[in-house]
Amino acid sequence: MMRFQHISHLFALGLIPVLIGLFLWMIYWRNNKIKKLGDQSLVQQQLLGRIPGRLTLKFILLSIALFTIIVGWANLQMGARTEKVQRKGVDVVVALDVSKSMLAQDIQPDRLTRAKQLVMSMMDKMQNDRVALVIFAGHSYLQVPLTVDYSTMKMMLQNVTPDMVPTQGTVISDAVDLAMKSFSQKEKKFKSLIIISDGEDHDENAVAKVKEAADQGVITHTVGIGSPQGATLYDPETRGVKLDEQGNPVVSKLNEEELKNIAAAGHGTYTLLRNSDDAATKLVNALDGMEQKSLGAVVFTDYTSYFQYFLALGFILLIIEWLLSGAKLKTSTKTA
């Protein structure tokens, strides 16, 4: 089986038709300039070292060289051998707080961006686990059902904003309910819920819901985003600091106690996000330490790359084209 490792690079082949068009236009323009100099056959006789068709040959060499270099850049590969590997993993639902308090900038660039970076880093470290994405504020919405397609998960994650949830608040219990519906109902283990939030609004039902989830075999981890000192929020309507009804600045603070209580009820861990990579490593290690379920066999193919041959051919063609010198106008010399 053959494939291109970086198939998107082949879009660069679209440059070749453009270059052909420019070359034909250049030939047309060149012939017109020669005609203005005089009789075309006489002018061409004055071109020193002119070989008919050499210009076209040089262009063909350049075009083929460009083609082979682009193909080499995309890295043509051929399957050398296949291997069947048994996959094991767990089901993970990431519940991401997207309330407007997550736009606070007590951690740079803001809480929501850092939370996204954490999830991205986690997926870079995961291998076989199935992952789902739930976003929540006043209500919860399933954005990505359980999948091993991490690229789709990352793409959806990049587009997440507070505007996707019109009802504001931080109702963690609703996110837990939706996460439980996203898991397989046939098993009472191999499941984990990761709640990423500033925990700002106290949700009295959150701990109870997490305990119910724990009875169904779901281990819940929490990640705190922000700082206990907090930060003011931006108001897009006034384009300034958001104010409460009394005219005082609204300060959003991280509620660590709430998130720690939720993690304890879910038999999981609490992590204060400082470094995204460190936090991701801690969470993935916790997932790896769980009992794993069989996710079936997958066939991996070992590929042999052939990019070097295409690149070598391309550079050889470029050298040949460079060695074909162009024609010059003859200059008359006078003898005394």
DSSP code per residue over 35-96 = HHHS-HHHHHHTEET--TTHHHHHHHHHHHHHHHHHHHHH-EEEEEEEEEEEEEE-EEEEEE
Would residue 105 count as lying in a domain?
yes
Q: Helices 54-74 and 15-37 meet at what angle, rounded to 10? A: 170
pLDDT averages per 10-residue partition of the chain, 336 residues: 85 93 89 68 55 80 95 86 70 95 91 96 91 94 92 91 86 94 85 94 86 95 93 76 78 92 96 95 94 65 85 94 65 45
Give the CA dihedral 22, 25, 31, 36, nearest 10 degrees: -110
Number of domains forming the structure of the chain: 2
Tell me, what's the pLDDT at 285? 94
Element (DSSP H or E) covering residue 284: helix 276-288
DSSP conformational letter for 274: S
Tell me, what's the pLDDT at 46? 54
Do 228 and 322 have their domain in common?
no
Do 148 and 264 have their domain in common?
yes
**CA geometry: angle at 280 spanning 164 and 121, to 5°?**
60
Q: Which domain holds residue 71?
A: 2-75+306-329
Cis ω on the peptide bond leading into residue 249 (within 30° of 0)? Answer: no
* 85, burial (CB in 10 Å: exposed 0-12, middle 13-18, buried 19+): exposed
Do 167 and 224 have their domain in common?
yes
CA–CA gap between residue 133 and residue 152 (Å, rounded): 11
Tell me, what's the pLDDT at 167? 84
Tell me, what's the pLDDT at 329? 45
Would residue 334 count as lying in a domain?
no
Do 279 and 179 have their domain in common?
yes
How far is C-alpha 299 from the geometric centre of its chain's CA atoms? 25
Nearest to 252 by CA among 71, 110, 89: 110
CB 125 within 8 A of CB 84: no
Do 286 and 312 have their domain in common?
no
